Structure 1
Amino acid sequence: MYLPPHFDARDPALAAALIRENPFASLISVDDDGLPFVTHLPLHLEERPGGLVLLGHCARPNPHAKILAVRPRAVVTFLGPHAYQSPRIYPDLQRVPSWNYVAVHCTVEARLVDETAGKDALLKHLIGDHEPAYAEQWRDLPESYTHKMMTGIVAFELHVTQWQCKIKLNQHRPESHRALQAAYQVGNDDERALAGWMTRIDMKGLK
């Protein structure tokens, strides 16, 4: 993605936080016609000694599974909160509107997970992320049912080989930065979330 230096967040902790807080991702591959094929899905982030790994699955009829089998290199994107930026935050009038957002893009190598135990472990990670209380219900379901459900999906590990994190929050314009944060703090959910990210980078920086 286009990544000017002043929006380039190189701190892996910031990228990991953004992924975990916004786990609904876009998995993007190239199909047989040379066009992007996109699947929207939740992913679980693991930080392993060898690097970051994203765990997920798709329905077996989804063509994406076959694409990953023959072309395992793909891109995953995560989009966090985003919001309009009014030019009224600037002290002068010669300004235009903009849009602020936080995002992570990952280049990945996919490994398909076929064994039942591996699928079960992966699903339990996703359950733990989104509804831990469901874990007991999943364990108590008949094995015939859970096996049928797992047969209907293709699971995968997406090993991150490269990542970019863009935090675009007007931080390169100190004359308007505080006015923007004040406006966002009393705005909608996304705007308040961006105000929180502004506080994070003020305290920690991007590097």
Structure 2
Amino acid sequence: MIHTSDYEIRDEARVRDVVRRNGWATLVSVADDGAPVASHLPVLLEDTPPGEPMSLLSHVGRPDEVLHALDSGRESLLIVQGPHGYVSPGWYAMTPAVPTWDYVAVHLWCTVELLDAEDTYAVLSDTVDRYESVMPEPVRLPDVAEYAHRIAPGAAGFRLRVARWQGKAKLSQDKPRAVVERVVAALGSDPHYAQPALAAEVRAELGRRPGTAP
């Protein structure tokens, strides 16, 4: 990612929060023939004790675990995209100005541990629970156990152990406070480019500026 110190996320707790809130990620690996391969998949952040490296759980449909050579011991890159969106210079009320794109993203370099059938099923169940928990009438795998057990062998579960990470939060840090406040307002209500989650991130970043009252 772009190397700009003003945009770096240095706090691992914030990285964990980005992963926890944005569970749809891109896994990039090097196949046995040397070609890069990518898959889009859901991820769950595991609860690890303080001081221990991050780890995540996920699954792919077979035979993607073979395509990714997940049992090779090679490192893979997991990309987690947080809120992002177009920022119009028309929101700035200042000139000269050009458009930009604000975003939050995390790159995690991981080693991969393939899981057995029982643990894979547990990952599938936990993933369903994670997203069904907010529904008025949640559907759990035990509710459809026969069907779930029949199709589960078509998935390969795995654990991602994070070796290192890089986080970026480009959130209009280069703009004066009054301009950023207008960007926040537009991201919350613009008829074409509203991104409420991104507006909340920009607002939070504004609150981190030196001299800002807690």
Name 1:128's counterpart in structure 2: 129
Distance 1:157 1:24 in 2: 15
Whole-angstrom distance in 2 between the partners of 1:66 and 1:182:
43
Does the CA-based 8 Å contact 2:23-2:43 persist in structure 1?
yes
**Runs of 4 or more above 6 Å deviation:** none
For residue 42 of structure 2, what is the aligned residue in structure 1? 42
- TM-score, normalising length from structure 1? 0.85
Which residues of 2 match residues 12-27 of structure 1 at below 5 A? 12-27=12-27
Q: Which residue of the partner structure matches residue 29 of structure 2?
A: 29
Which residues in structure 2 correspond to 1:28-177 (within 5 Å)?
28-49=28-49, 50-64=52-66, 67-90=69-92, 92-116=94-118, 118-132=119-133, 133-135=138-140, 137-138=141-142, 141-142=145-146, 145-174=147-176, 176-177=179-180
What count of residue pairs does the alignment treat as equivalent?
Answer: 201
Alignment-derived partner of residue 202 in structure 1 = 206
Q: What whole-Å deviation, never above 9, does each CA across 1:51-83 have from its counterpart, x for those lacking one?
A: 211101111222556511114410000112221
What SS class does the counterpart of residue 81 from structure 1 fall into?
strand
The one-letter code of the counterpart of 1:62 is: D
Cα offset, 1:26, TM superposition: 0.3
Identity %: 32
Shift of 1:86: 1.6
SS in structure 2 at match of 1:68: coil
**Is the alpha carbon distance of 1:158 and 1:15 closer, same or farther for their aligned partners in structure 2, counting shifts above 3 Å?**
same
Gaps of 5+ in 2: 210-214
The offset of 1:111, in angstroms, is: 0.3
Shift of 1:45: 0.8
Moved more, 63-72 or 10-19: 63-72
What amino acid is the match of 1:44? Answer: L
CA distance in 1, matches of 2:63, 2:89: 47
CA distance in 2, matches of 1:64, 1:79: 25
Change in 2 beyond 3 A, CA 1:195/1:146: closer
Structure 1 124/204 Cα, relative in aligned 2: closer, same or farther at 3 Å? farther
Mapped to 2, the partners of 1:178 and 1:65 lie a distance apart of: 46
Q: Which moved more, 1:148-157 or 1:18-27?
A: 148-157
The alpha carbon displacement at 1:124 in A equals: 2.2
TM-score, reference length from structure 2: 0.83
- 1:183 is matched with 186
Higher relative contact order (CA 8 A, sep 6+): 1
Greater helix content: 1
SS at match of 1:141: helix
* Closer, same or farther: CA 60–163 of 1 in aligned 2, 3 Å: same
